[in-house]
Structure 1
Amino acid sequence: MPLASQDASATAGGIYWLDLTVANASATRDFYRQVVGWDVRNVEMEYGGELYADYSMLGDDGKPAAGICHARGANVGLPPVWMIYLPVGDLAESLRRVQEEGGTIIKATPGNEGNDVFAAVRDPVGACFALMQR
């Protein structure tokens, strides 16, 4: 699930966000801090009454560049791959087309009003990405 507060006017076809969901987000955070040189901002999370932090990875300019998340809460079941989030105008229609075109829905995450706000999908050749309602 995207961590950064991105521009709400993201256009269809652009890349909205990038994150990685893994079992040990703290160790993974440290790996990327050392290898890429990112700085880190904790993003406080809560699931089932448990508090924990996911991580917003910051570029040299201090702006969020990517997220590293624990495989908890809304992120349970997401594959441990760098996931790009692509904004679409009609998420329900895009998910229908994913299936129609031979892809699969890995996990759809509903928002407060019951409509899906994002969904992890796999294309027909196995590449994973996420679609977000813009």
Structure 2
Amino acid sequence: MDKNNIGDMAWLDLTVDDAESVRDFYQQVIGWKSDSVSMGDYEDFVMLSPKGGDAQAGICHARGGNAELPPVWLPYFLVADIDQAVSAVEQNGGAMVTDIKSMGSDRYVIVKDPAGAHCALYYKG
């Protein structure tokens, strides 16, 4: 991992009950395009730039591992060490919302800061 990227926002997700309607909303309001991502029984969406087609964000259903997430834009911040970051969350008045999850060699966790705002900590393995 490029250590210069630590602290950068790596991704942005929105988790909602009706991802199709919200996808359509952002397509009409912002002009984003979308691509489907199979989640097994359903599909979530990657939202794409209308010009270059670059991935901008994800719009996900509040199902499975995302069932407990609030319907807010959730930034994923890059960390150098996920275990150390989780320890720092707990030592500094925050709380874990999920357990640490793996996606290939990457690891991430959803946390709350002391004010109750949610974000994800993301380690790119």
TM-score by length of 1: 0.83
CA separation in 2, counterparts of 1:31 and 1:117?
Answer: 30
Residue number in structure 2 paired with 1:80: 71
Q: Secondary structure at the match of 2:9?
A: coil
Let me know the Cα RMSD of the aligned residues: 2.0
The answer to whether 1:108 aligns with 2:99 is: yes
Which of residues 112, 117, 121 is equivalent to 2:111? 121
Deviations 1:21-56 (A, max 9, x none): 11111111111111111001011112xxxx211000
Q: Which of 12, 16, 20 is 1:18 aligned to? A: 12
Structure 2: how far apart are the matches of 1:53 and 1:24?
A: 11
Q: Please list every run of 5 or more consecutive structure 2 residues that lacks an aligned counterpart in the other structure.
A: none
In structure 1, distance between residues paired with 2:92 and 2:33? 39
Matched AA of 1:101: N
Query: Within 5 Å, which residues of 2 pair with 1:3-42?
Result: 9=2, 11-42=5-36
Which residue pairs with 1:96 in the alignment?
A: 87
Shift of 1:9: 4.6
Counting matched residue pairs gives 122
1:58 aligns with 2:22: no
Which secondary structure does the structure 1 equivalent of 2:115 belong to?
coil
CA–CA separation in structure 2 for the residues paired with 1:126 and 1:57: 27
Residue aligning to 2:60: 69
Gaps spanning 5+ residues in structure 1: where? 1-7
What is the Cα deviation at residue 73 of structure 1? 1.9
Cα deviation, residue 131, structure 1: 0.3
Runs of 4+ in 1 over 4 A off after TM superposition: none
- Partners of 1:20 and 1:68 within 8 A in 2: yes
